[in-house]
Amino acid sequence: MRTTDQEAPGGRRRTLIVSASMGAGHDTVAAELARRAAAQGHEAHVADVLRLLPHGLGTGLRLGYQASVRHLPWAYAGIYGAFLREGGGPRPSGVPLARLAGDRLTELVDRLDADVVVSVFHLAAQLTGHLRARGRLRVPCAVFLLDFAVHRQWLHPGNDRYLCLTDAAAERVRRAVPAPVVTTGPVVAPAFRAPAPGAARWRERFAARAPGRPPVLLSAGAWGAASRPAGTARLLAAGGWLPVVLCGRNERLLARLSREPAAVALGWVEDMPGLMAACHALVDNAAGQTAVQALASGLPVIGHRPLPGHGAEGVRRMADLGLSELAPDGPALLAALAALREGGRERTDRVTRGQALFRHDAMRYATEW
């Protein structure tokens, strides 16, 4: 294994990015970081920390989380409060679970001859911090903390560097760990910050479906986890909007929303930049990767009926920073949409604040030591 003060021949670095197949957000960020590494002349590999856990524990963890978010949100809210939320007081650590993947991760680092490890999931951050603190991981490890809400499972004093979305998040990390912290802003593919050629096709589709009704995007994430999306769609339709519901890979939700006559229900969408460029706003429930893609695209975000736990906290954090508006009920949602008129001051200011988040290339800060 290469030590921390050595580089790969010719300055070419080998980076191991540790993600998790929890929804799609973490893997989307990992893929974009890997693309950036390749564009900079480096080599990158992506691993799923859930696959590194033995005895099928990773699969069980993913299925349990998915079931709780979809069907038992109150249970996940309790788990978040006990294990994850920010603040003082004794709470269980994620290290005992993470350390079960320690041997497999160190073997992978050895096999790839990696120069640096970058975590984009909180369990991976616990794992790298634990191994680094005990001398078992002899290359630097960076954590890209991709949530607006900094929950405690992201934080381990053994990690060498933290990269955050906002200055507020960076300050919370500095209070908790001794590692250097950098505010880089979110990571999205370049297409979200460029003209979207697919937007015209989406506009034509929406105009043919509901002439004169501005399309409003409703996100349920990759797993299609949302609170009463059909009711929200009906509310928007009654208010003169065209609800466009992102059902992700949830076939049951897609089938159910497809029966709503006033809504456009979509499964997994490849052309998200074009779709976002064609819509009036995003109604978001998680403050995750879809929300930051919207900010990059210049699409205003409204938080409504957030998922429990880090979803609700992240939505609040976004609103506190002026990056979105939190609409606690139906009338507030309709009022927030009406206030975002094209060319209006509120819309312009919101878009400007959102795009100002994207400051630095996180991959450079993760790999340059």
Whichever domain contains 138, its CATH number is 3.40.50
Report the DSSP beta bridge partners of residue 324: 301
Residues 131 and 233 grouped into a single domain: no
Q: Check residue 61 and give its pLDDT.
A: 85
Question: Which of 149, 183, 217 lies at the terminal end of a domain, its last residue?
Answer: 183
Please answer whether residues 284 and 148 qualify as being in contact, where contact means their C-beta atoms are separated by less than 8 angstroms.
Answer: no
Whichever domain contains 348, its CATH number is 3.40.50.2000
Residues 244 and 156 grouped into a single domain: no
Residues 270 and 204 grouped into a single domain: yes
Q: Burial, 191: exposed, middle or buried (Cβ in 10 Å; 0-12, 13-18, 19+)? A: middle
Tell me which residue range forms the domain holding 50: 9-183
Residue ranges for the chain with pLDDT beneath 70: 1-10, 79, 82-94
**Assigned domain for 105 exists:** yes
**Assigned domain for 128 exists:** yes
Residues 171 and 225 grouped into a single domain: no
Residues 225 and 317 grouped into a single domain: yes
Give the helix ranges, DSSP H, for the chain.
25-39, 49-52, 57-71, 73-79, 95-98, 102-112, 122-133, 167-176, 199-209, 229-238, 251-258, 272-277, 289-297, 310-320, 330-339, 345-355, 362-367
Q: Check residue 368 and give its pLDDT.
A: 83
**Assigned domain for 2 exists:** no
Question: Which of 139, 165, 183 lies at the terminal end of a domain, its last residue?
Answer: 183
**Assigned domain for 162 exists:** yes
Q: Can you give the C-alpha Rg of the chain in angstroms?
A: 21
The two tokens of residue 34 are 């890997």
Q: Check residue 231 and give its pLDDT.
A: 96
Nearby residues of 159 by Cβ (< 8 Å), 6 or more positions away: 119, 125, 128, 129, 132, 141, 142, 143, 177, 179
CA separation for the pair 47, 275 (Å, rounded)? 30
Q: Within a 10 A sphere around the Cβ of 225, how many other Cβ atoms?
A: 23
Residues 135 and 220 grouped into a single domain: no
- What is the H or E stretch that residue 162 is in? strand 161-164
Residues 98 and 49 grouped into a single domain: yes
**Assigned domain for 202 exists:** yes
**Assigned domain for 18 exists:** yes
Question: Which of 134, 164, 183 lies at the terminal end of a domain, its last residue?
Answer: 183
